[in-house]
Amino acid sequence: MPSKVLIVDDDPLFRVLYKNHLERAGYQLLTAKDGAEAVEMAVREQPQLVFMDIIMLQMGGLAALKQLKSTEVTKTIPVVVVTGSVANDHQAIRRECENYGAAGFLTKPFSPEQLLAEVRRLAAD
pLDDT tens figures, 49-87: 999 999 888 889 999 999 999 999 999 999 999 987 665
* Pairing status of strand 49-53 against strand 79-83: parallel
Q: 104 forms bridges with which residues in the sheet?
A: 80
- As a whole-number percent, the residues of the chain with pLDDT over 70 amount to 93
Q: Is residue 77 part of a domain?
A: yes
Using alpha carbons, select from 100, 71, 88, 89 the residue that is nearest to residue 80: 100
Amino acid in position 26: G
Whether 94 is in a domain gets the answer yes
Q: Is residue 123 part of a domain?
A: no
Which CATH number fits the domain that encloses residue 28? 3.40.50.2300
**Cα 79 to Cα 52: distance, rounded to the nearest angstrom:** 7
Cα radius of gyration rounded to whole Å, the chain:
13
- pTM of this structure: 0.92
Number of domains in the chain: 1
Task: Confirm whether 121 is domain-assigned.
Answer: no
